[in-house]
């Protein structure tokens, strides 16, 4: 669904060639997108600097992102206190007493806390000015992120209402996945990456979790037993938890809110390791495109 929105972005701009290029680059660009651990790391980094602070203003330098930046943000937010900063799926939520600022990092977006006097760099599109002289700065070279104001409950807004459960909560378990998978012929990797089923299991972590649970990514979701789904949930939660603890996965466009890279890439067992020996059995890691995304698996360990 996200890629359909990217193509639609180019279509709205009247750029047919851009839309064609976006479709052709899906397998390559997909690995650049911040996933749940990267977003959680960003939230954890920003929270101590932003919660409890008043907004001194909002500067918008580029309004044309994935969706146009909401108008009147400076008037709406000036003098208002940031009650909390948290995550839902890949959205970062700055919650105020009345309303929420939703930020999505898209493919290449970054949020950093810097002194407000820090020189502006190319692609620094939005500054959320704080009352202590710092600002939360949003940089997005590809402009597929978003900065949107929601006046009501964000969880029932058009952005969040359709989303599945968080993968790190108790309600997300093997029985849930098993029930949702009944009768589905789609590949299990696509199934667990569907945000309507569960949020935040992106391409990298889906490949790694399926490897840990011994499930081949091409297997039909409806043909997997309850016991195996229970193992898969444990794998998803452990992979994501370890990645959050490590600060995310170092990709070409991602770094922490401090500017430092994450380090989980060093722990990847199959992702982007095609042709290399499996660390468990020694067989060579295979690569296959599933649902327009590159998938990696061990043909011996995963069935």
**Taking the alpha carbons of 86, 87, 93, 95 in that order, is the dihedral positive or negative?**
negative
Out of 34, 154, 167, 217, the active site residue is 34
- State how far the alpha carbon of 303 is from the alpha carbons of 113, 124, 158, 295, in Å: 45, 46, 38, 14
Q: What's the N-to-C CA distance of the chain in angstroms?
A: 28
Out of 76, 110, 216, 293, the active site residue is 293
What is the DSSP annotation of 89-148? TTEEEEEETTEEEEEE-TTT-EEEEEETTSPP-TTEEEEEEETTSEEEEEE-TT---EEE
CB of 128 within 8 A of CB of 93?
no
- State how far the alpha carbon of 231 is from the alpha carbons of 151, 162, 227, 297, 300, in Å: 40, 26, 7, 17, 18
Out of 31, 35, 88, 110, the active site residue is 35
Residue 293 among the catalytic residues: yes
CB of 2 within 8 A of CB of 167?
no
Helix (H, G, I), strand (E, B) or coil at 210: helix
How many whole angstroms separate alpha carbon 47 and alpha carbon 142? Answer: 25
CB of 225 within 8 A of CB of 208?
no
Residue 35 among the catalytic residues: yes
Q: Which residue has the tokens 């081949």?
A: 216
User: Strand pairing partners for 210?
Assistant: none
Out of 31, 90, 180, 273, the active site residue is 90
Rg (CA), the chain: 20
Phi-psi region of 292 (alpha: psi -120 to 50; beta: other; left: phi over 0): left
- Taking each helix axis as running N to C, give the angle between helix 226-246 and helix 203-213, from 0 to 180 degrees, rounded to the nearest 10: 130
**What are the residue numbers of the active site?**
34-35, 90, 293
């Amino acid at each position: 669904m996200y890629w359909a929105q990217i193509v639609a972005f180019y279509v709205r701009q009247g750029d047919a060639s851009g839309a064609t290029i976006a479709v052709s680059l899906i397998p390559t660009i997909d690995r650049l997108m911040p996933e749940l651990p990267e977003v959680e790391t960003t939230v954890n980094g920003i929270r101590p600097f932003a919660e409890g602070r008043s907004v001194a203003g909002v500067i918008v330098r580029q309004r044309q992102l994935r969706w146009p930046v909401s108008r009147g943000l400076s008037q709406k937010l000036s003098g208002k206190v940031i009650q909390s900063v948290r995550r839902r799926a890949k959205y970062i939520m700055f919650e105020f007493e009345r309303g929420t600022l939703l930020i999505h990092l898209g493919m290449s977006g970054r949020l950093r806390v810097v002194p407000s006097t820090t020189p502006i760099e190319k692609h620094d599109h939005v500054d959320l000015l704080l009352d202590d002289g710092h600002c939360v700065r949003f940089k997005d070279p590809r402009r597929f992120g978003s900065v949107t104001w929601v006046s009501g409950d964000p969880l029932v807004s058009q952005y969040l209402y359709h989303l599945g459960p968080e993968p790190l909560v108790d309600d997300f378990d093997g029985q849930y996945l098993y029930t949702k998978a009944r009768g589905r012929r789609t590949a299990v990797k696509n199934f667990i990456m569907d945000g309507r089923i569960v949020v935040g299991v992106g391409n990298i972590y889906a490949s790694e979790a399926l490897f840990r649970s011994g499930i081949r990514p091409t297997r039909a979701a409806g043909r997997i037993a309850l016991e195996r789904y229970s193992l898969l949930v444990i794998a998803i939660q452990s992979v994501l938890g370890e990645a959050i603890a490590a600060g995310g996965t170092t990709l070409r466009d991602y770094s922490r809110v401090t500017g430092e890279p994450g380090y989980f890439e060093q722990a990847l067992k199959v992702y982007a390791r095609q042709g290399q020996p499996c660390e468990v059995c020694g067989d060579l890691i295979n690569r296959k495109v599933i649902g327009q995304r590159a998938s990696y698996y061990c043909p011996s360990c995963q069935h």
